[in-house]
Amino acid sequence: MWTLTATAERNGHEPLAYLTAYLGACAAAGGRPPDGKALEQFFVWLRDPGDAPGSPDADGPAP
């Protein structure tokens, strides 16, 4: 869990909201880690630097 919150914080995201969104995605995947596009939304380090602030891609997963 610490690596998830540290990654979120290091990339300018609110750690608790990021963790809550990730755990929600795990619950939606039947208690397993999300995969495919559901997982890719949590790869904050892959964001396009040209994303406008406030866009879903720039902000990461919705809480």
Q: Where are the alpha helices (DSSP H) in the chain?
A: 2-10, 15-28, 37-40, 56-59
Burial class of 37 by CB neighbour count within 10 A (0 to 12, 13 to 18, 19+)? exposed
Residue ranges making up the domain that contains 14: 2-43
Please indicate, yes or no, if residue 48 is contained in any of the structural domains.
no
Indicate the pTM of the whole model. Answer: 0.66
Please indicate, yes or no, if residue 25 is contained in any of the structural domains.
yes
Please indicate, yes or no, if residue 13 is contained in any of the structural domains.
yes
pLDDT tens digits for range 3-43? 888 888 888 889 999 999 999 999 999 999 999 988 988 88
Counted domains in the chain? 1
Sign of the CA dihedral with 37 first, then 34, 49, and 55 last: positive
Give dist(CA 49, CA 23) in Å, integer. Answer: 26
Give dist(CA 45, CA 59) in Å, integer. Answer: 11
